[in-house]
Structure 1
Amino acid sequence: MAYYAIAPILCALVQNELYMHLYINQVYAGQSTNQLVVITSSQPQGFGITVINDWPITDGANTVGRAQGLHFQSGQTSEKWYTSMNLIFEDTRFSGSSLQVMGTIPQDGEWSIIGGTGEFVAAQGIVEHNVIQEAGGARTYELKIHAFYTPMQSSGVGAYGCNSWKLGP
């Protein structure tokens, strides 16, 4: 028999708010592509085409991470690409941390932040993305990231006198 339990949180969890302004550089044609078509399609609109991506994330001149995941053509009557990827940070401040995002890839739109790791555990929020440049088989997206996350070394004082918690030993 299945069972469940619901318990109140006695300590207030501290949440941090994150704002980032970054860029993704997608190269979909030419000799230095950073994505690979792994499933092709003969359907109208390319329905079902699946692409694996490893796009650099920059803050302008510096690479600060990678957007690694997949996107596939999910529209039968129009070009609609669904994506699921990890924004994996490699810079000093957030090295090893990631944000998990999903959504569609129109020219401009939003992706949902559905999780995170490292510094960004349990992240939730939104990534606004806009194509700011497209030429020669390459596309640059501007990203405006807004998220909330709970650091694992969190502390707070609740009604019952709690003062800290920690995940793990």
Structure 2
Amino acid sequence: MATHLPQTYLTQCCLPCEKELNLVLYLHLVVGPNANQKTIIPTKPGESLFGITAVNNWAIVDAPDFKAKVVGHAQGIHVMADQPSVGYYNSFNLAFVEGSFKGATLHMMGIFNPVGEWAITGGTGELTMARGTIKYKILQESAGIGSIRELNIH
């Protein structure tokens, strides 16, 4: 018995050629009364942090300064999914609101530690089908204000 396959077509790709992007931005995590993250599933006092879940709308800024210009937001969720130590699993979109990537997004995921790396698993707009990594580290922490992380996007 012969199997009939549907007719296939080869077409020119409608996307522009791939480009390499090297970009340094800064993530501003705010604590206190103007916090840009919120716990939605807390743990009880005395329990481990395992399972605590929060949503975030962290500011992405263009300079390592608490008053720098906002160029985007890291919007998503983080969950304490590491029982033996403290490591939040993150999944979020970096939504650009200013600059040459305005309206585009990068989807990122990984563990949120003081120093680490996230995977870029996709994107939209000018960054459609993006893939790569973001290496990050804490540059500054201020009690009652928050922290600034340097993001090396590749």
TM-score (norm 1): 0.76
CA distance in 2, matches of 1:119, 1:126: 17
Tell me the secondary structure at the aligned position of residue 127 of structure 1.
Answer: strand
Provide structure 1 residue ranges, at least 5 long, that are not aligned to the other structure.
147-169
Please say if 1:33 is aligned against 2:41: no
1:22 is matched with: 25
Provide structure 2 residue ranges, at least 5 long, that are not aligned to the other structure.
none
Tell me the secondary structure at the aligned position of residue 31 of structure 1.
Answer: helix
2:122 is matched with: 115
CA distance in 1, matches of 2:91, 2:140: 22
Please say if 1:91 is aligned against 2:93: no
Residue identity opposite 2:24 in structure 1: H
Tell me the secondary structure at the aligned position of residue 22 of structure 2.
Answer: strand
**Could you give the per-residue CA deviations for residues 94-137 of structure 1, whole angstroms, max 9, x where no partner exists?**
11100000000111000000000000000000000101111214
- Measure how far apart 1:21 and its partner are: 0.4
Residue identity opposite 1:143 in structure 2: L
1:6-155 matches, within 5 Å, as: 14-28=17-31, 30-42=32-44, 44-60=47-63, 61-137=68-144, 138-146=146-154
Moved runs in structure 1, 4+ residues, more than 4 A?
7-13
RMSD: 2.1
CA distance in 1, matches of 2:34, 2:11: 53
- Measure how far apart 1:77 and its partner are: 2.0
Residue identity opposite 2:49 in structure 1: G
Question: Is 1:45–1:78's contact at 8 Å kept on the other side of the alignment?
Answer: no
TM-score (norm 2): 0.84
1:151 is matched with: none
Question: Is 1:74–1:82's contact at 8 Å kept on the other side of the alignment?
Answer: yes
Residue identity opposite 1:131 in structure 2: I
- Number of residue pairs matched? 141
Which structure exhibits the higher relative contact order, with contacts defined as CA atoms closer than 8 Å and separated by 6 or more residues? Answer: 1
